[in-house]
A and B are shown apart, each in its own frame.
Chain A
Amino acid sequence: MAKFITIGERIHCISPAIRDAMNNRDPEPILQRAKEQIDSGATYLDVNIGPAESTGIELMKWAVRLIQDNFNNHPLCLDTSNKKAIEAGLSVYNPIRGKAIINSADAGDRLDNIDLAAANGAICIALCSKSGVPSDNDERMACCQEMLEHGMELGMEPEDLWFDPLFLVIKGMQDKQLEVLEFIKMCSDMGFNTTGGLSNVSNGMPKNVRPIIDSAMVSMAMMNGLTSAIVNPCDRRLMETIKSCDIIRGETLYADSYLEI
């Protein structure tokens, strides 16, 4: 294991400001969100352009160049269901500070995103599902094995597949939470990297509660070996929890100023 990796989720076309910026190729709102996430300590930045079927290729290239040129080639996670757009993004991506992450493959229709990662020396987030929410951990593990085999056949290192257990919303799926944690432990015991959209768990909860639930979830998940998560790095409580868990896990050496670095 190593220090926990945070993937900042705030460059997402679902936000009206970002959607407009992407449509108008207006750099400022995107650079601003990139900066605040990097300043908050995000290891990677997710760049979600949505499906962007007609404009994805140009848009992803523009976004990757924009962020990497302005932030010393900060590592990125390319997030779209448009494969051509991911390919285009990878073609201009500079991996000097970290391999690109493809977000994401699954064991169903999107299996071939693993091919894209293998061909481009990228990391691939591998959703442990074929379609929709897996019914139990047997299904998750079957998907995990399938994707692992596929990746290894293509010459990938297992460490470059980051398995996503699918964090589930507590309001409605409270009874599934321990199962997700258990799956993270199974992956961790096999030495696999894991990640996922952490804030799913607190979806629909009051604004003041979300950071508390997210922080509790991340610490329990880190205890079980979670190696990364897609998070809002501007959530200070969450980031402080992650740094504290890294201290307790021994991934980074304690110093009184550990929250500031």
Chain B
Amino acid sequence: MSFEAKPVVYGASIGEVTIGTGDLSLTIGGANISPLCFFEAPQKHPPAIGIEVSDLPFDTQGLPLLAALYEGCSDMAERVARAASVKGASFVCLRFESADPGGLNRSVADCVADAVKAAAASPLPIVIIGCKNSEKDTALFTAMAEALQGKNYLFLSAREEDYKAISAGVAMAYGHNVGAESSVDINLAKQLSVLMTQLGVRRDLIVLNPGSAAAGYGYEYVASTMDRIRAAALEQNDTMLQMPVITPVSTETWAVKESIISGDEMPEWGEREPRAIQMEIVTASACLASGSDAVIVRHPVSVEKLAALIAALL
């Protein structure tokens, strides 16, 4: 008997979320197949790759390729223009590390000014990440949402402790998209989505950010959480989990020793740059295989390789 392939296409599908407006927009989501199984059925929106730009210059020691990309740039806006030129990047992610009250603690007004300037310099849609301090992020996001109203950007993220203020100030007041962040907790992922929709946030403005970890740092929990989110969404038609998933990868992988330690310190590990790129690609491709509709990475080589991976599978 000959083998007859039966496509596994689900009756349910992931919702679509559009970041940006008009020609400058990117739609993510819409999947009705298992992650990356493009042979099952054609998909309107393959996963998107975003490139991270911080408002502080990156540490580029031992990273000649990353240094070359941003050589001569004096501010975030200039770096954004460079980042957007990287082949395979579909959106730019602005990260406001300098806002951290435990660090430089730059004012909301200064960060907003940077965001407006950087957004103007970008030919790609924008995703905004704060400084991970709940209070500061709330102030930052609501001020930026107002300054950038009408742009339809995505803000990462609202968490259990601040979802009310961020949902209201970003999505409900100015129509931007908002991420629902649950740190690798599937029940919280659903709960946050329930709470945000009950509050009145339109479902097509919510993107799930179920959290991540660098490969080797508890990533198996991430994989199992994401697999179950996608299974609930597609197999059980759970509408509270049918939002697209975005995973900021760079914020995790560039914080682990494999990406930080120089080749001089650990000669047996080889040079820093290829190692850091590998960490990023390995983690991001695992996220894509578990259902991320968008991943955010830092290194231009990671962007290119991940985009090539998706293109090869399409």
Contact = CB atoms under 8 A, between A and B. Distances in A.
Interface residues of A, number: 11
B27 interface: no
Helix, strand, loop or mixed for chain B's interface?
helix
A130 interface: no
Interface stretch (A72-80, A204-212, A252-260): A252-260
B236 A260 contact: no
Interface in B179-205: 186-188, 190-191, 193-195, 198
B232 interface: yes
Nearest to B239: A261
Contacts of B193: 255
A168 B220 CA distance: 49
Interface residues of B, number: 15
A203 to B, nearest CB: 34
A260 B193 CA distance: 13
B146 interface: no
B187 A254 contact: yes
Nearest to B188: A255
A2 interface: yes
B252 interface: no
A61 interface: no
A159 interface: no
A252 B195 contact: no
B198 to A, nearest CB: 7
Helix, strand, loop or mixed for chain A's interface?
loop
B198 A3 contact: no
Interface in A235-261: 251-257, 260-261
Contacts of A251: 236
Given A2-B236, A3-B236, A253 B198 contact: no
A255 B236 contact: no
B191 A257 contact: yes
Given A257-B198, A260-B198, A252 B238 contact: yes
27 contacts: A2-B236, A3-B236, A251-B236, A252-B232, A252-B236, A252-B238, A253-B186, A253-B187, A253-B190, A253-B228, A253-B232, A253-B241, A254-B187, A254-B190, A255-B187, A255-B188, A255-B190, A255-B191, A255-B193, A255-B240, A256-B187, A257-B191, A257-B194, A257-B198, A260-B194, A260-B198, A261-B194
Nearest to B241: A253
Interface string A1-37: 0110000000000000000000000000000000000
B74 to A, nearest CB: 47
A257 B241 CA distance: 14
Contacts of A2: 236
Contacts of B190: 253-255
A109 B232 CA distance: 42
A256 B240 contact: no
B128 to A, nearest CB: 27
Contact of B238 (A253, A256, A257, A260): A253
Given A3-B236, A252-B238, A253-B241, 19 more contacts: A252-B232, A253-B186, A253-B190, A253-B232, A253-B236, A253-B238, A254-B187, A254-B190, A255-B187, A255-B188, A255-B191, A255-B193, A255-B194, A256-B187, A257-B194, A257-B195, A260-B194, A260-B198, A261-B194
